């Protein structure tokens, strides 16, 4: 076999090996990403709790301990979430609750887990040995915050928090209407529910009824939530949490919007009903629609309400937004990954990530050499 053919064959084999290695590395990373997470959730206050769940964590060894740190967007400030215990099987489950009730998403979008000495001479500052790190995609973080933390000057709440609060008020007004003893009392509660649904700029808003909501309106909160979910998913297309759970929010908000509009239309029917008993009967479907918009509807009867068409409500949209802010851990951190020692590179190790690129570069060089030899040989015989 000629020298040129040998070189080209070697290059092709190396290319094939590189592709297999890339797929293998990606599969390993995907499996790790599914299991190693931190999620911000609600305790006594919105967003005041963060839960770490990791597997495959090495024991820190004698005289050392793992410690978690929430990190601000610019990486300057850090908040300790406490030291962590690694189970015998390499599992790490740790929960931190803000003692002040702070919404952790408001300031923090990154996490590091570092290796610290025991006793620690500087317990409020992390060491340089960061073993794991995670972050919310910076392109999506502002929209996620708008869903879960703060929205605009019109409301102090995130749009999904405002949506749930206003839906609960509208539902309460409808329920009070059904227990009213006079037609006038019933109609007053129904009008208040309409005011809460449409907001102060709504077509059917009545300033004569004492507005029990914040004036923004359920429909405005719903539209704003959908907009933020769409933008966050579009801005972080390579982040599976942003894309998947952003789609879940859009689906559930479509459910909410449809049910709320039906409830509003039913409320308008109640307003023109001139007999108390008949008006109460007409209020029943309105209550069902508002309850579905708030809590979802188990349409398939499997005892689970999902973020799917015809099922999910505002509660499910809120949970999807929290999953959208999932922090997926990767080995290593800032300023450098921990030294794993000699041997084969572990999952996510930077060495493993560089091998496919190196393979492609070498294969390209070999292919070029093979082509050169072929051209040279042909010229020799021409």
Residues in the chain: 382
Q: Cβ contacts of residue 362 below 8 Å, gap of 6+?
A: 14
**pLDDT the model gives residue 201:** 92
**pLDDT the model gives residue 365:** 53
| Cβ proximity of 224 and 292 under 8 Å | no
| Cβ proximity of 359 and 21 under 8 Å | yes
Digitized pLDDT (tens) for each residue of the chain, 382 residues in all: 555 555 444 444 344 333 433 333 333 334 333 469 999 999 999 899 999 999 999 999 999 999 999 999 888 899 999 999 999 899 999 999 999 999 999 899 999 999 999 999 998 899 989 999 999 988 899 999 999 986 555 566 789 999 999 999 999 999 999 999 999 999 999 999 999 999 999 999 999 987 789 999 999 999 999 999 999 999 999 888 899 999 999 999 999 999 999 999 999 999 999 999 999 999 999 999 999 999 999 999 999 999 999 999 999 999 999 999 889 998 887 444 334 343 334 333 434 344 444 455 555 555 555 555 544 555 544 4
Give the C-alpha separation, 234 to 269, whole Å.
40
Give the C-alpha separation, 163 to 265, whole Å.
19
- Angle, helices 138-148 vs 218-235, to 10°: value is 160
**pLDDT the model gives residue 34:** 46
- 127 alpha carbon, distance to own chain's centre: 28
Give the C-alpha separation, 87 to 305, whole Å.
33
Give the C-alpha separation, 196 to 185, whole Å.
17
**pLDDT the model gives residue 16:** 39
**pLDDT the model gives residue 334:** 47
How many beta carbons lie within 10 A of that of residue 272, not counting itself? Answer: 9
**pLDDT the model gives residue 303:** 96
Give the C-alpha separation, 380 to 372, whole Å.
12
**pLDDT the model gives residue 161:** 92
């Amino acid at each position: 076999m000629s020298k040129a053919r040998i070189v080209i064959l070697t290059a092709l084999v190396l290319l094939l090996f590189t592709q297999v290695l890339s797929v293998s590395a990606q599969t390993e990373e995907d499996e790790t990403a599914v299991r190693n997470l931190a999620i911000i959730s609600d305790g006594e206050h919105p967003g005041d709790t963060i839960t770490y769940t990791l597997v495959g964590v090495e024991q820190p060894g004698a005289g050392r301990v793992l410690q978690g740190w929430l990190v601000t967007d610019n990486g300057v400030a850090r908040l300790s979430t406490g030291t962590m215990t690694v189970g015998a099987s390499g599992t790490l489950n740790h929960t931190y609750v803000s003692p002040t009730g702070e919404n952790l998403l408001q300031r923090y979008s990154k996490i590091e887990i570092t290796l610290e000495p025991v006793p620690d001479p500087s317990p409020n500052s992390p060491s340089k040995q960061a073993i794991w790190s995670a972050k919310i995609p910076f392109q999506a973080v502002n929209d996620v915050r708008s869903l879960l933390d703060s929205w605009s000057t019109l409301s102090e709440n995130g749009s999904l928090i405002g949506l749930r609060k206003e839906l609960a008020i509208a539902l309460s007004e409808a329920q009070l209407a059904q227990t009213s003893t006079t037609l006038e009392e019933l109609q007053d509660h129904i009008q208040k529910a309409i005011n809460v649904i449409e907001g102060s700029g709504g077509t059917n808003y009545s300033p004569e009824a004492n507005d029990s909501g914040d004036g923004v309106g359920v429909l405005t909160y719903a539209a704003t939530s959908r907009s933020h979910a769409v933008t966050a998913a579009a801005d972080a297309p390579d982040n599976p949490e942003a894309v998947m759970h952003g789609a879940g929010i859009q689906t559930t908000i479509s459910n909410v919007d449809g049910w709320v509009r039906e409830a509003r239309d039913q409320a308008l029917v109640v307003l023109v009903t001139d007999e108390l008993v008949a008006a109460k009967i007409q209020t029943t479907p309105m209550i069902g629609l508002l309850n579905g918009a708030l809590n979802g509807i188990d349409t398939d009867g499997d005892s689970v309400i999902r973020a799917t068409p015809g099922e999910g409500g505002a509660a499910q949209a809120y949970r999807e937004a929290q999953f959208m802010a999932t922090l997926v851990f990767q080995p290593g951190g800032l300023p450098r990954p921990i030294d794993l020692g000699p041997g084969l590179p572990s999952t996510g190790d930077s060495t493993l990530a560089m091998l496919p690129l190196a393979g492609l570069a070498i294969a390209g060089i070999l292919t070029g050499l093979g082509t050169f030899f072929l051209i040279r040989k042909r010229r020799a015989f021409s």
